[in-house]
Amino acid sequence: MRTLLLTLALSSACATPALAGAGPQRNFLNNCAGCHQMDGSGAPKAGIPDMRGVVGHFLRLPEGRNFLVQVPGTANSPLGHAETAALLNWMVRAYSPGQVPADFQPFTTAEVAQLRQQPVHDVPGTRASIVQRLQGLGLAIE
Ligand code: HEC
């Protein structure tokens, strides 16, 4: 009976196009939203950046793009590389659609796997230098 219910639940989920983003969204809820909040607002006073209208800017620079994978919350989550790539592709569009560059190439599984092997040691310093370069491009980011 349990198996039947599960099968029904899964098949109805797959049949509903509106739930296409359910995987990444659910993964964000379970692995990220505890700190970042489901609306991406974070807790800036506690050092958790507000992603809304901002996080897409990072995609303008290779080191900014890499940072979204290498930041500890992403790199150290229990999610697999493919799930993480899908999560990031969903996340930038969900929280920062207006800032995602038109020529954005989605994160790939191989890219995520490689970057996770190269942790960033000075997270605030790395972010500060990326933000400075983005501001140099005239983008509004703090
Ligand atoms: C335990 C709390 C916590 C969890 C869980 C967490 N993060 Fe974070 N996240 C932070 C903090 C704090 C920062 C600020 C940089 C730092 O100190 O790591 C951050 C920064 C980020 C940034 C960079 C944003 C910016 O503007 O610099 C991204 C992207 C990010 N997190 C993604 C994720 C994703 C994706 C997940 C889930 C897979 C996740 N985080 C889980 C706390 C968390």
Count of alpha carbons within 13 Å of 12, Cβ hemisphere only? 5
Residue 51 within any structural domain of the chain = yes
First to last CA, the chain: 53
CATH number at residue 82: 1.10.760.10
Q: Which amino acid residue places its CA nearest to atom 2 of ligand 1?
A: 35
pLDDT of residue 2: 55
Q: What parts of the chain have a pLDDT lower than 50?
A: 1, 8-9, 11-20
Residue 12 within any structural domain of the chain = no
Q: Is 71 in the pocket of ligand 1 (CB under 6 A)?
A: yes
Q: Is 127 in the pocket of ligand 1 (CB under 6 A)?
A: yes
**How far does Cα 60 stand from its chain's mean position?**
15
Q: Compute, in angstroms, the gap from residue 36 CA to the centroid of ligand 1.
A: 7
Cβ contact 25:91 at 8 Å: no
Report the domain count for the chain: 1
pLDDT tens-digit series, residues 52-90:
999 999 999 999 999 999 999 999 999 999 999 999 999
Q: Name the residue range of residue 50's domain.
A: 21-136
Q: Is 17 in the pocket of ligand 1 (CB under 6 A)?
A: no
- Beta-carbon contacts of residue 88 (< 8 Å; ≥ 6 apart): 68, 69, 74, 107, 112
